[in-house]
Chains A and B, each alone.
Chain A
């Protein structure tokens, strides 16, 4: 098990020009990122949809590398998305999953069968051509370059330490530096017009 913050530090040098959707670990990414207009910290529009959103973005922009940091709870809510992603086979899509075994934002309750679910096996079974699983930082760090050089879709699951939030929602400090609308506008401006 390793820390999400350390994972992002290991990932950062290999980001290149990719669009990064940092998901629920975004609080650690925004201070590392040198390309904030290519970061898409959406917050939580509706649970379970990050994979499909990132996939849709990848499909609309096949010339851009799209990197998502998803969470296992969201995967479970919409596991069928993995079959769609695998079928459409976007070569530019990199699907990382922060598996902390709990619903951290609601107080740390366990995800169903958290100790036994193998998300990389599920992804492989759904048809992802490349899958990885890491439970320590060293192995992740030693493989990140290879992962991002593989054609997508690539699925990477990482056992990370939970960061449980017990503060009531209306008392939590917002870590995002921009509103969602501004985030989208800045991304669209940076991407430029879509080629038909």
Chain B
């Protein structure tokens, strides 16, 4: 899907990470982010930290943040839900201002969920009181900055739900 048709470019995310002086991306791959991975690997200002299960991303991000680094968490909504207690105890309990870029698996924008991962994602975020912003195309990208600003202001995690569709990111 080309930019003109409302696609979402991974470079847009990279640009926002750099603009916000992100130092580390703590992540576990998901179905929406392969093209982003290639750009992340090539970006010299970002240190990619791969985790084996998403809950580790929250404790890792807490350690990075306490030490003065600025991490971002990049995971899928399924892993976000798996990580509930880690999110509670580490980033929420320790007041870590981290942005979570969350792949919104199953999100179709058409009202009918065919994947329960999508069915429960926003309910999960509501239950934890996590503010979130849906980004589906480059036209929505300014919400990423809103997320960063809110995380800093509240010293709490904020989610960006990446709602691009199945075919993944725009290639530049």
Residues of A within 8 A of B (CB): 44-61, 78, 80-81, 83-84, 87-88, 180-181, 184, 187-188, 191, 193-194
Contact = CB atoms under 8 A, between A and B. Distances in A.
Most B Cβ at <10 Å: residue of A49, A54, A181: A49
Contacts of A184: 66, 94
B71 A56 contact: yes
B52 A194 contact: no
B51 A84 contact: yes
- Give the residue among A53, A56, A83 with the most B Cβ atoms within 10 A: A56
Contacts of A193: 68
Contact residue range for chain B? 20 to 34
Contact of B56 (A58, A81, A191): A81
- Please list the 9 inter-chain residue pairs (A to B) with the smallest Cβ-Cβ separation, ordered nearest first: A56-B63, A80-B52, A46-B89, A60-B67, A194-B68, A49-B59, A45-B89, A52-B59, A60-B69
Nearest to A194: B68
Contact of A53 (B47, B62, B69): B62
Contact of A49 (B55, B65, B67, B95): B55
B53 interface: yes
B69 A59 contact: yes
Interface of B: 23-24, 26, 47, 49-53, 55-56, 58-69, 71, 85-86, 88-90, 93-95
Nearest to A64: B67
Q: Which of A50, A59, A61, A83 has the most CB of B within 10 A?
A: A59
Given A52-B56, A59-B47, A194-B69, A46 B90 contact: yes
Given A54-B63, A80-B51, 20 more contacts: A45-B94, A46-B88, A46-B90, A49-B62, A53-B60, A53-B63, A53-B66, A56-B59, A57-B67, A59-B64, A59-B67, A60-B68, A80-B52, A80-B56, A81-B52, A84-B49, A180-B93, A184-B66, A187-B66, A194-B67
Contacts of B94: 45, 180, 184
A78 B68 contact: no
15 contacts: A45-B89, A45-B90, A46-B88, A49-B90, A53-B90, A56-B62, A58-B63, A59-B64, A60-B63, A60-B65, A84-B56, A180-B93, A181-B95, A191-B67, A193-B68
